[in-house]
Amino acid sequence: MKVRVEVVAMDCLMLRLFDDIDEAHMPWLLAAVQRLRAEFGPGLIDLVPSYTTLMLHYDVQRIGAVQARELIATALENLQPAGEGGGRLHEIPVWYHRQVGPELELLAARSGLSVSQVIERHSGHAYHVFALGFAPGFAYMGLVDPQLAAPRLATPRKRVTRGSVALAERQTATYPQTSPGGWNVLGRTPTALFDRALDGYSLLQPGDRVRFMPVDHAEFLRQGGDDTPLEALA
């Protein structure tokens, strides 16, 4: 692993650890986060992991530019991942149904699979959280089974219901709040992904893993799910 350090601002550096997106990289990124936090200590303002990079924001009143690079070199020397698992594992219940997942049958037809097979493949993998973005608590996860990969909608929806579980290309996500969106919606979860009561406001953090757990309609409602058809809210 050859790390490239790029200047973003006078107090911010971008560390490029990898060139391609791969689930196997996440443990290395998490290990780097832990080492960097320890080396920079109170001089660290923020550290934002993403697919292949870490954006490091430091306090220039505590740490100079040359010292920052020295701390990075020390932190990343002989770096080893803590383990394959990485962050926390979340099991998120999902009601997969065309009432709340209008693209479910379309994806089945596109992939040559049955609806039940689409559900089985989408829920049969523990996805890594690569990054947060687009909206507070919106976690980009992957990698989705290649047979399920599908492009974004040609025309994004004006409203996608909070809790909608969707995919685009080989990534999947859950909409933490009702918002516009152009991903293929497969179902809905009752789980709150973004809440001020949560530590860091977001349930999911980069490096965490997510496994979607299919539930029936009754269980979805029991857990507080909203079964209003997506199109009725457009």
> What is the tens place of the pLDDT at every residue in 141-160?
999 999 999 999 999 999 99
Q: Which CATH number fits domain 89-233: 3.40.640.10, 2.40.100.10, 3.40.50.2000, 3.40.50.300?
A: 2.40.100.10
> Which residues lie closer than 8 Å to 171 by C-beta, 6 or more apart?
130, 140, 141, 142, 143, 144
How confident is the prediction for the chain on average, in pLDDT? 92
pLDDT at 85 over 80: no
pLDDT at 28 over 60: yes
Would you place residue 83 in the very low, low, confident or very high pLDDT band (cuts 50, 70, 90)?
Answer: low
Buried b (16+ CB within 10 A) or exposed e, 69-85: eebbeebbeeeebeeee
Q: Which CATH number fits domain 4-76: 1.25.40.10, 3.20.20.70, 3.40.50.970, 3.30.1360.40?
A: 3.30.1360.40
Distance CA 156, CA 187 (A): 17
* Domain boundaries along the sequence of the chain: 4-76, 89-233
Average of per-residue pLDDT across 202-209: 90
Percentage of the chain beyond pLDDT 90 is 77
Would you place residue 190 in the very low, low, confident or very high pLDDT band (cuts 50, 70, 90)?
Answer: very high
Q: At residue 231, what is the residue type?
A: E
Give tens-digit pLDDT for 101-113.
Answer: 999 999 999 999 9
pTM (2 d.p.):
0.84
> Which residues lie closer than 8 Å to 44 by C-beta, 6 or more apart?
36, 37, 56, 57, 58, 59
The per-residue pLDDT for 198 is 72
Going by DSSP bridges, is the β-strand pair 89-96/209-214 parallel, antiparallel, or unpaired? Answer: parallel
The per-residue pLDDT for 27 is 87
Report CA Rg, the chain.
20
The per-residue pLDDT for 97 is 97
